[in-house]
A and B are shown apart, each in its own frame.
Chain A
Amino acid sequence: MRPLDLFWLVVLLLPPVLALTVLPPFGQRMVTLVGVYALMGLGYQFVFGQLGALNLAQGALFGVGAYVAALTSPVLGFLALPAAVLAAAVPAAMVAGPVLRLQSHYFALATLALASLVNLVAVNAESLTGGANGISGFASSLPRGTTLLMMVWACLIAGVLLAAHLFRGSLGEGARLLREAPLVAATLGLDGGRWRLVAFVAGGAMAGLAGAFSAAVSGVVSPDVTGFSIMVLCLTSVVIGGARHPMGAVVGAMLAVCLPEMLRDFQGAWLLAYAAATLAVVLWAPAGLAGAIDRLRRLPAPAARPAEMPARLPAVGGPRRLVLDRVVKRFGGVDALAGVSFALERGEIVGLIGPNGSGKTTLLNVVAGLDRADGGTIALDSVNLERLPPHLIARQGLGRTFQTPMPEGESRASDLARAVSTDAAFLLLDEPAAGATDREREQLAMTLRRLRDAGRGIVIVDHDIDLLTRVCDRLICLDGGRVIASGRPAEVRADPAVRTSFLGLPAAAA
């Protein structure tokens, strides 16, 4: 996410300033509404934009906020607003636990079921919600007019600035990794479940606040505020504005409020136009209108900043020894790893070789916790790793790089740099030299030696045997999930079993 520049700051501050100085009451009301929808959209951006999960409960949480504000304001007065925030955040936190573990299509379903449940209560629990007639007559206990406008926009401006600030740095980078490369994120020690929980609850709380404000604006709360159409409005306005642009929610909300006024003569046509615009944005401008405006202003697209290898590599501490003992991994009936044992000290580089399908990548996955071992033990000093989730293994001091898939615009070098930046004592590198030029290979070899000298232990899988021979202290050759040779590089390369299995050459021809 880019920081807000002067242009966007003006766009953000202009509506409330205009509303307070020149606009008639009707215009003020519209500006207030823009703020309300933008607030809900901003919260929605956390889960949908930053983490890429299709949450369909945001509209319902908005409705919960509206109802709670309407019900409690006669008693609590202005305090109904924090009550509404709590009322939306608490159920979000309660369902978040099980719901956030789900894969994308089940996540969408679960949030949709939750939303339908809220809607059902709003319609049917007549003694509480007034049923289809809704609730009215509470507006006098809530802020109104310019007070309301200022409160809404103060919250919105603070929220936008805070989000833009937060997602600029490592938080934005972490969110990007979780969205585009969840495995990489896990091996860097990011706990995806926790991130989603915080985003879901924070976003829900903002929806609750927006809902409470909307109750104050309209003075009436009916089951419509919990309906699917509010959800669709929220989703479409965020998509149109720009799901990951700091101003996306604001731009989308401006359109959502202004369009119906412009198309007032055609009943309902604005919603049609809005939906069509959403489809067009998804197809042709995935960065949304705010992103498109940035392009027109000839700002460069916000590029992912590839991690760079630090100039100095400080010595690392942490565990001293990684030990694998008879590790087994089965896929279906096939033993991908059939009892692999070896040990690695810090300050040592071990190369892992073997033909396609011999189990090299599986071995790295099992050690990093991305696949679960079916047998054997893996330990860093005295800590057993084989039952830990990947992000906890990473925090024990174990980093890993990947062959594929890499988030867009990334190189293997930055993947390695990122793994190094965690100060992991042990690094598992999967084909770091693949696709590299001779010069890059030389640099890689140098980097690896520096990492070793800084006291790290490295396991490297690669097909460039010359490179491995130069940098590794030991080579281990796998075939059919077993270690068939292990020792100094020259010995392993000369081993007849290695030549046969690795190249399919008869031993005699070597």
Chain B
Amino acid sequence: MKTGKIVILSALLTLLCLNASADGAQSLRLSEVATADSTECGPWIEIQNTSWGTQNLGGFYITNNPAVFNTQLSAPQRIEKMHLIPTGNPITAITPQNCILLYADGNDNLGLQHLNFKLVPGDVVALYSGNGIDLIDSITIPADLKAGQSWAKDFDTNTWALCKRPTPTQANNYEQAKKNNKIAEFKEKDPHGFAMAIMAMGVVFSCLLLLYIFFKIFGKAFSRTTSEPSQAGTPSPATDSDAGARVAAMMAVTEATSGTGDENLDIALIALALQAELAHDEESGIITICPTTSPWADKAEQIAAGMLLHS
């Protein structure tokens, strides 16, 4: 039995870990590429981290070799054809919503951002995860990509298009732009806030209405199935009206004796007295009102404690 539980828990944890790692890899995307003939600064590949957490590109593989798409290849065979992005360097860590530039100039001895292949128009670019099996992202660069142009991804429409003004590491702050657009749109189309009030109140009411319907039905069904007569010998739970009468009587006493002088404390004392008096174990709607005084501040407690110490 115990072994079974351990197996189930291990399986669940493994599933969670696998899912987490897949999420991390999937948030890395090719976002813009330029070839040897297209820009002055040389061919480059821009990879964007679309998530809100830092992702490290270290340990991933990248290539322009179309042979890697052959599904018959084993992982080691595919890895042989690709360039490994070195691990253990903070340069490859991409902060949320940011990007990294890799120089596909064929000079990987110039630094870890330089790749061992040179990108030309018509090439493919493929990004593989560290196991050499999972294809993260790939694109084919148009063969007619001209000088001064790049091939860039529009994350809004999820399509690639020709970019006449390449924007290495710059045009990727889509989220801030989207946020500004949202605000500008509300400012323009809903200057008095009526639409926002209707929509947002609609959302609030929808959620609460759903909860109301669910718990109305659930509560009814449940109270039907659990309604059992109270056991003989056990005190039956008092009704609210009984409790009300008792509270009223106690309030009258506290009023007549002016209580402790603190209304909240009086209510707390009454609640405590009621709790001690009535069987409250399963009764709904018990509120505990914390008294504002503590034994350190309460005169009566201090005196009692003092008497104990002296006795």
A binds B: no
Q: Which residues of B contact A (CB under 8 A)?
A: none
Q: Which residues of A contact B (CB under 8 A)?
A: none
